[in-house]
Amino acid sequence: MSDFSHIDKSGKAGMVDVGDKAETDRVAVARGFVHMSDETLEAIEQRRIVKGEVLQVARVAGIMGSKRTAELIPMCHTLPLDNVKVAFRSMPEAGGLAIEASARCRGKTGVEMEALTAVSVAALTVYDMCKSMDKAMHIGDIHLVKKTGGKSGEFVHPS
């Protein structure tokens, strides 16, 4: 493809070629946080949000979003996920709702983007369902908690 690069120096950029990598069992865990008022958090816990049961809807959205990671993130590989979980934790002392997602697959590349996408879509869904009562919400601290499998071995976030 050498002739194809003279106006396009980044010709080798793109997806990472994983064709020569071995399949291993991979797990990734990610977290995020939706900052909100105490009133909003209580309304979620007491299932009073008009648009529906926020955590149920956000869990489904996170799981479904995770399965579409490779459609959203340009250089991600399509992975057949073995599992995705999304869970929530009310943290009034920290001013909001924590979200945790884990993703698992047997594949040639990691599943951290799938876990991070699950958290992001779940967080956006929480925001969408509560925004009529709390426009000052914000989504923060989306990060990889840990990841196992693959050549680089286990990673645990330093924080």
Whether 25 is catalytic? no
State in angstroms the smallest separation of the CB of 147 from a copy of itself.
8
Instruction: State how beta strands 155-156 and 24-35 pair.
Output: unpaired
The DSSP bridge partners found for residue 98 are: 33, 89
Contact in structure between 82 and 114 (CB atoms under 8 Å):
no
Rounded CA-CA distance 11/91 in Å is 47
Contact in structure between 129 and 7 (CB atoms under 8 Å):
no
Give me the catalytic one of 82, 128, 134, 141.
Answer: 128
Contact in structure between 146 and 156 (CB atoms under 8 Å):
yes
State in angstroms the smallest separation of the CB of 135 from a copy of itself.
5
Active site residues: 128
